[in-house]
Chain A
């Protein structure tokens, strides 16, 4: 298994540009999430999904959109990038509650985004 994969690894955007951060997992996990990591603030939840077609907001959802059309993929869209969205973005997944170890989240390698 490749686990959780994220593309791209690095990205530079100009203010106002749009882009999609890709996240995929091959472990058939039901739950997927996006976090951002900023210096001195730890990781904060942006959006999450409990299954295909179902998404919900986390702690810092403004400026981001998500959709979940398949179990494997959970893209994060920035419609109009702002310098405040400069951050490292992590995607995570975990199995359903039926799995005994379900509450461990598996993290991708991260995407470092800079908005100028």
Chain B
């Protein structure tokens, strides 16, 4: 069975602070993809990043960075110098390729990030 745990239900920070959102996953698949999605108050799901299980390189995109560590089954997301516009719910998701055929995304329960002035 697949499982994604986002232990942080809600995080509040002051603008310009750095914040890290944790994601821990469980799967027996050796081939899988991990994703982060952003859900702003308007409700749509915005794709942020995709990472496959064979690529452990960390990635940086502007103020966003991701730390993928297979040894600890974690795929953490850091926002540097947070802004009010970063306020949203963030979801981590796992897509197992062998057992799920790439068709069964398992989502975490999400982390509500509130960035205040």
Q: Which residues of A contact B (CB under 8 A)?
A: 31, 33, 35, 40-45, 48, 50, 56, 58-59, 88, 90, 92, 94, 97, 101-107, 109-110, 112
Interface size class of B (residues with CB under 8 A): 20 to 34
B75-103: which residues lie under 8 A (CB-CB) from chain A? 91, 93, 95, 97, 101-103
What would 13 A/B residue contacts be, using CB atoms closer than 8 Å? Answer: A41-B109, A42-B4, A43-B105, A48-B103, A50-B101, A97-B102, A102-B102, A103-B97, A104-B50, A105-B47, A105-B95, A107-B37, A107-B47
Docked pose: A112 CA to B4 CA in angstroms: 24
Instruction: Decide yes or no whether B33 CB sits under 8 A from chain A.
Output: yes
Q: Is B109 within 8 A of A50, CB to CB?
A: no
Which A residue sits closest to B9, measured CB to CB? Answer: A40
Q: Is A33 within 8 A of B103, CB to CB?
A: yes
Which A residue sits closest to B103, measured CB to CB? Answer: A48
Q: Is A107 within 8 A of B45, CB to CB?
A: yes
Q: Is A44 within 8 A of B102, CB to CB?
A: no
Docked pose: A29 CA to B107 CA in angstroms: 22
Docked pose: A38 CA to B77 CA in angstroms: 23
Contacts of B9 in A (CB 8 A): 40
Q: Which residues of B contact A (CB under 8 A)?
A: 4, 9, 33, 35, 37, 43-45, 47, 50, 52, 91, 93, 95, 97, 101-110
Task: Please pick, from A50, A58, A109, the residue contacting B43 in the complex, using a CB distance under 8 A.
Answer: A109
The 8 A-B residue pairs whose C-beta atoms are closest, nearest first, are A42-B107, A107-B45, A43-B107, A103-B33, A42-B109, A48-B103, A109-B44, A104-B50
CB of B56 to closest CB in A, whole Å = 17
Q: Is B45 within 8 A of A45, CB to CB?
A: no
Contacts of A35 in B (CB 8 A): 105, 107
Q: Is A110 within 8 A of B44, CB to CB?
A: yes
Q: Is B105 within 8 A of A31, CB to CB?
A: no
Contacts of A92 in B (CB 8 A): 105
Q: Is A45 within 8 A of B102, CB to CB?
A: no
